[in-house]
Amino acid sequence: MNQDTFTEERKERWERLSELLQQIKKFGIKNLTPDEIRLLGSLYRKTCSDLSYARSQAYSRDLMTYLNQLAGQAYGVIYLNDGTEKKGNFFRFFTHTFPSLIRKHFGYILLSIIIFLFTTSLAYIWGNADSRFISAVVPREFLQIWDKESRENTDKDKMGHAAFPLMSGWYLTHNFQVGVYSFVGGIFLGLGTLYFIAYNGLIFGAITAMVVKDNFHIAFFSFVMSHSFVELMAIFICGGAGFLIASALISPGDRYRGDVLYERGKDAAFLVLGTIPMFLIAGIIESSISRIETLPLEVKILFALSTVVLMVLYFRYDPERKNKPRKFKLG
């Protein structure tokens, strides 16, 4: 194919890509419609293909320079910061981006919750039936703290109040690691994420069975209740991020797997980034409210439920909802 024919067949889509880039430069990428965003990605890939073909055919330097600049501009818009973002990105991330990503990908987060609750219930039932299961599942560091406190404290109340803070310090660190590993585990087609979420559920269920069997459940729940919902939700979000990455690898649809992996991987990374304050908040609650021995269990339960309500309100918060057009309903 000669250069003139090549140019004539493709110049319309190059011009359309150039128009979209000019539109983005003036008004920002957020003003594009979903169809225009999909078209932008499609035109970018086709332009890259055209550039590759032009090089292989040794077409004119002017044509290759034009295509190279066009593809470069599109790449900068799609994969890099296009320069149109407003100041205050940090604040905007936590008021807009993070809660919107939670809503967008909640199905993957819900999958993590279901896996955790299933394995927790299984471990609790199994641990009550067979103490050997508890010894096999609960981490050695946890059991060593429990055994040491049981030997040094004959008073059950003192023993519980001494052991649980030590255990919780280990467990907070462990849960943060589980969150990170669950996210990274998504690259292994989600099997790594499944393993870490399920295993953490087994540990939690086995620990619960252990304290119930030893009649320490009141002290245990009095200590962990205040901060556990925030901490566990952070883990579930990390798990959802891992499954989101896995979905890009397993079912990219009719798009290039690399493009889908980049898009969903970016969302997944932002989801994990948003959990960092949640882990910090859980640690602050654990080191303060959870450790107040004189605070009644009922008060701590109310506080825990209030954290759930606040999280629901926060994740549902959409400051741009009033600017979205209402859907027309027939009838």
Q: Going from the first residue of the chain to its last (331 residues), give the mean pLDDT of each consecutive group of 10, the final group possibly shorter.
A: 87 89 77 80 88 85 86 77 51 88 95 97 94 86 67 51 55 78 94 95 91 79 86 96 96 82 91 93 86 86 95 86 43 30
Structure confidence at residue 145 (pLDDT): 65
Tokens representing 216? 């320490």
Q: Please state the pTM of the whole predicted model.
A: 0.69
* Widest distance between CA atoms in the chain: 92
Structure confidence at residue 327 (pLDDT): 42
Structure confidence at residue 182 (pLDDT): 94
Structure confidence at residue 304 (pLDDT): 94
Q: Half-sphere exposure of residue 222, counting CA atoms within 13 Å on the CB side?
A: 16
Tokens 């035109």 belong to residue: 43
Cα–Cα dist 2/13, whole Å: 18
Name residue 220's amino acid. F
- Exposure class string for 2-26: b at 16+ Cβ within 10 A, else e: eeeebbeebeeebeebbebbeebee
Tokens 């439920």 belong to residue: 305
